A and B are shown apart, each in its own frame.
Chain A
Amino acid sequence: MERILMAHGSGGRLSHELITSLFQKYLGNSFLNQMNDATILPGQEQLAITTDSFVVSPLFFRGGNIGRLAVCGTVNDLAVSGAAPMFLSLALILEEGLPIAELEQIIQSIAETAKEANIAIVCGDTKVVERGSADKLFINTTGIGYVSRTLVNPQQIQPGDVILVTGTIGDHEIAILSEREGLEFETPVTSDCAPLNGLIDCFFQTGVKCMRDPTRGGVATTLNELAQQGGVCMLLDEEALPILPGVKGACDMLGLDPLYLANEGKALVIVKPEAAETILHKMHSHPLGQGAAQIGVVMEGKPGLVLLKTPLGGKRILGMLEGEHLPRIC
């Protein structure tokens, strides 16, 4: 009776339910249960490992393509886990009929991005499936990195800590959406897709407690996860959110909330209050951190609760991404 819905893959509440009720239930172990972007493996030299699959449509979009995305996604999961990304696997599932020229363009892009991220592609695999069994091209990448710095886990997040984001939010999803649906906004939006390890190297210092990349489900869903894992309450300031006018305009038109839109080149960084200013300053000195901003604080309060302070001064609960934003006004 129950079946997989698209929302099970959206990174929102249903994705979470799937993870806890199925994957964790059957596969759970001390590694998987870290429930972080990358898993830290024990050993003389601590390793971090992560894997991700990429199924974006369209393959090419303003600011990137599926290849660049496949490198960045895995690199970023390692980087926000405190690891220096080292090795990458590359598995391709190709649909019969995919133009070789497109594939070549994507592979070139993978090479460039890997270079930019300073990571080596060390193994790979290719499968071709019949027309209709896949949508043009799916990519899976697994990344391994050396743990280069100790990050505190979400349990250490404390009231008083400060929430930073490394730049404008929602760019990626609006770029993809306008490309896919042929929406021509007055100010076109470019995906933020980029490897973050360089930026993180630039600003990292003591006082950084936790980092996450707010991909599917956006800033709101990612912070919900952190607030839950850390047993804390968070308060965001709507007026402090860095949002490009083009993204804002698109959201107003379509009735979308930028806090729930996917990013592919941004990190949420939770820091000790005394370190916030320096870290923010360092972020601003890096090309990928130009739009960095303090967007909120960690507070005493109901564990797992994420609130948004609106420009009128009231607060609103930011839940996890639900299936869709069904109208509520009666």
Chain B
Amino acid sequence: MLVVNGLRATVGEKEILQGLNLTVNPGEIHAIMGPNGSGKSTLAHVLSGRDGYTVTGGSATFAGQDLLALEPEQRAHLGLFLAFQYPVELPGVNNTYFLKAALNSIRKARGEAELDAVSFLRFIKEKLKILHLDESLLKRAVNAGFSGGEKKRNEIFQMALLEPKLAILDETDSGLDIDALRVVADGVNALRSPERSMIVVTHYQRLLDYIQPDFVHVLAKGQIIRSGGKELALELETTGYGWIDAEGLAA
């Protein structure tokens, strides 16, 4: 589904991704872990098409298309979804309006009929239940004045609504207390399916207690330096990231 090959990307003068390889097949959950500044968020941003990064080498293919050549909305149309680490507040932009515009844009791009107001509302209320979210959410402006937990839940809610093929969860656990984390993780687990893949970007192992990954990768200095099963995450929990420097030197 996603094939990243030798990806290199810079921010300004600085090379953040230095030849990254990653393959994600349908239904798989990949965790990407690593210390601060290793390039985890950069990877998420480059894949979803955020400005400010220059791709200097390598490729990323998603659903058979050259992902890097596409506009952010085209990537979304193809089924890519980024759950933001810091969801953006959009004061004055009504949530329902926003969600409907997003869903219908994607449906339209896929050649599906746009949902009318009634069926949209029915659809959306169904999804609210999955995340145990209150309907009042729909009347509010997108993320404006939301608590940290509410914002993250709203991200997962959007994911439920837009039904992506590949979801990238960028440090979704950051800033969440354990209860909120559980709610978010339950939401994510409810959305697992054999057709849907996920990349879970995180600094800590604790999120992976709730979202069990199929693969764990360690990202350091812009490359994946180790890959393994979920036991790798537990190992990292005990060893921390200190060993990377030594190993990095040896390599």
A and B are interacting partners: no
